[in-house]
Amino acid sequence: MTNPVVSVIVPCYNVEKFLPVLFKCFNRQTYRNFQAIFVDDGSTDGTLDVLREYCSSRPQHTVVSGENAGVASARNKGLDAIKGELFTFCDADDIICDNHLELLVKHISEENADMAVCSIKRLSGKKVGSFNFDVKPRAKKVRAFDRIQALEQYFSQEKFDFLLLNKIYRTETMLKSGARFLDGTRYGEESYFICKYLLKSQKTVFYGAKTYVYLQHKSSLMHSRFNEKRNDIYINISAVLSTLKNDRTLSSVVPYVKVMRAGYSVGILYFILRSDYKNDCVIAGIVNHLKTDAKYIGKSRKVALYKKIFIPVCAVLAKIIFKKQLKKYPRAVSENTSVPEFGESGD
Taking only the tens place, the pLDDT of each residue in 313-332 is: 999 999 999 999 999 998 87
pLDDT of 345 reads 36
Nearest residue to 296 via CA among 260, 249, 330: 260
Angstrom distances, CA of residue 307 to CA of 15, 158, 233, 259, 284: 34, 11, 19, 9, 22
pLDDT of 9 reads 98
Q: How far apart are CA 3 and CA 34, in angstroms?
A: 10
Count CB neighbours of 234 within 10 A: 27
First and final C-alpha spacing in the chain: 44
pLDDT of 344 reads 38
Instruction: Give the residues across from 41 on adjacent strands.
Output: 66
Q: How far apart are CA 163 and CA 344, in angstroms?
A: 26
pTM for the model stands at 0.90
Nearest residue to 286 via CA among 315, 251, 252, 320: 315
pLDDT tens per residue, range 272-283: 998 999 899 999
Q: Which residues of the chain register pLDDT less than 50?
A: 221-223, 334-347
